[in-house]
Amino acid sequence: MNRAVCAALAALLVLAPAVHAAAPARPKAPAARVTAPKRDLALEAALLDHIKVLASDEFEGREPGTEGEAKTLRYLGKQWFDLGLISGTNDPGHPWFAPVTLVAREPAQSAAVFTRRGKRLFAPRDAVLMLTSGKRALVEDAPLLFVGEGRQIDGLARAELAGRVAVLLDGDQRGGERQNALLKGGVAAVLTVLDGTRTLEQVAARRRRSGYALASDVLGGDLEGFITAEAFDRLVSTSGTGLAALRAGARAPGFVPKVIDLAATLEATTRETTIRTHNLIGKLEGKRPEAGAILFMAHWDHFGRCAEAPAEHLICNGAIDNASGVAALTEVARRLSRLPQMDRDIYFVATTAEELGLLGAEAFAENPPLPLKQVVAAFNIDSVAIAPAGTPFAVVGKGMTALDGQIAAAARANRRVVVQGDEANAYVRRQDGWALLQHDVPAVMVTTAYGDLGRLEAFFDSDYHRPSDVVKPGLELGGAAEDVSFLVQLGRWFADVKRVPAVR
């Protein structure tokens, strides 16, 4: 969306009537579960109403930078404004909608020329693939340094690596870390010989997809390439050796990297597309904002149109991931807004581009509306429509912040059961809280969705990131409603300066 669209959205919060689809009739709960004492059926119905709107085809999968984004932010912004939140951007120039600029990069051109003592050698164009993280990277007439499996480079001086193309055996180890280490060590480029199970076609298919980054990220233009084993063997045979001999030498005791009597001119370019998107930020003002703030976060984005005909359904609607999360975020805000004014400010953030690499959360952390050291506790909400009522809560990020003791105390005070182990931490890097943790913000997910990992993994193996993640009969919202209730209790707990007196 451009600036004019953003301004129009902000104006709509004040001037326009509700523009979202009429809420569908609330489903009648199964008779056997109506009498369950802990079920909040009204809350479950409210969550379902939000999810049906946000995950409808009308919203086109909520892809950043599209009309689906405009509809999503218009809907959420109107909801938040109506329940009494104020803009939390703390930026008069961008009320409610904090701009986030992304760059999508996809490979464009690839070229590789190999020579021996000035004489050009033949290498099929379709046998080599060159890639760069920047717009363009070029290395001219650089000598090749064979490093085997890349395990013996620690003892090499930067001068021995600088200006050379490191030739790395792939084997079955898929050496992304080794490539990065070589580039960091100072080589001009890394050329990986696909001598294992990977094929050039597989690498090309994987890397053909766009990579995304914040426009503010400065990428170094690193140059990396891949060559088939057959093509590389033909090249080195001109210098009196072969791939088999090089591989055997690399596996011998005492192997040290050695220069091959070959040189390479390598080039790669990328095609860039700018995407203008937004985080939505609202706030409940506290009586003592100097005492810090509490943060609730959920990502609003999904993949948009993600399939092609003749597929039956072309849109990834993201009902569970993460229409359910922003629905829960909105209902947490609604319930907290009805309570007496609390001590600390409470921020509500609907982030963009989580699915593209936690980029909206990273943008929030890089340009926050308040000093990050003022955030006492942050709670991320993601894919909560998983577990039934009565499922224990897990803390994703347990042991990684100083929040555990207070969360446990709040759980005891509110008769909530929390999983004792930290198995859910296996997923900590896959959610927006991880971006905040990297900026030293104490961020966790407290949710029933991770309280039963078997049920969660069944979702990952079925509808997750697929067009089938739609609103279905019997969508499980019992645990989601309990998430909302406990998050409200946690918001009250951490906003109370008497219970939690110190800003970290």
Mean pLDDT over each residue of the chain, to the nearest integer: 90
Average pLDDT over residues 96-110: 96
Q: Is the pLDDT of residue 3 over 60?
A: no
Question: Alpha-carbon torsion 22, 28, 33, 38, what sign?
Answer: positive
pLDDT score recorded for residue 447: 98
Q: Per mean pLDDT, which of 152-161, 172-181, 247-256 is the most reliable? A: 247-256
The DSSP secondary-structure symbol of 354 reads: S
CA-based diameter of the chain, in Å? 85
Instruction: Work out the pLDDT band at 38, boundaries 50, 70, 90.
Output: low
Superfamily of domain 3-16+41-84+285-495: Zn peptidases (3.40.630.10)
- Of the candidates 2, 3, 13, 1, the residue with the CA atom closest to the CA atom of residue 74: 13
Q: Domain 104-272, what architecture?
A: 3-Layer(bba) Sandwich (3.50)
Question: Are the C-beta atoms of 30 and 49 separated by less than 8 Å?
Answer: no
- Which tokens belong to 195? 């001598």
Q: Is the pLDDT of residue 21 over 70?
A: no
The ranges assigned to domains in the chain are: 3-16+41-84+285-495, 104-272
Task: Look at strands 345-351 and 293-299 and give their pairing.
Answer: parallel
Average pLDDT over residues 62-77: 98
Tell me the C-alpha to C-alpha distance, in Å, between residue 145 and each of 72, 166, 329.
52, 5, 54
- The Cα 359–Cα 105 span in angstroms is 14
Instruction: Work out the pLDDT band at 367, boundaries 50, 70, 90.
Output: very high
Instruction: Work out the pLDDT band at 99, boundaries 50, 70, 90.
Output: very high
- Which tokens belong to 125? 């164009």
Q: Is the pLDDT of residue 459 over 60?
A: yes
pLDDT score recorded for residue 27: 39
pLDDT score recorded for residue 308: 79
Instruction: Work out the pLDDT band at 332, boundaries 50, 70, 90.
Output: very high
- Of the candidates 365, 341, 337, the residue with the CA atom closest to the CA atom of residue 440: 365
pLDDT score recorded for residue 6: 52
Q: Using CA atoms in the order 405, 406, 411, 413, what is the torsion angle rounded to 10 degrees?
A: 120
Average pLDDT over residues 414-423: 96
pLDDT score recorded for residue 181: 87
Between 22-36, 185-199, 400-414, the lowest mean confidence (pLDDT) is in 22-36
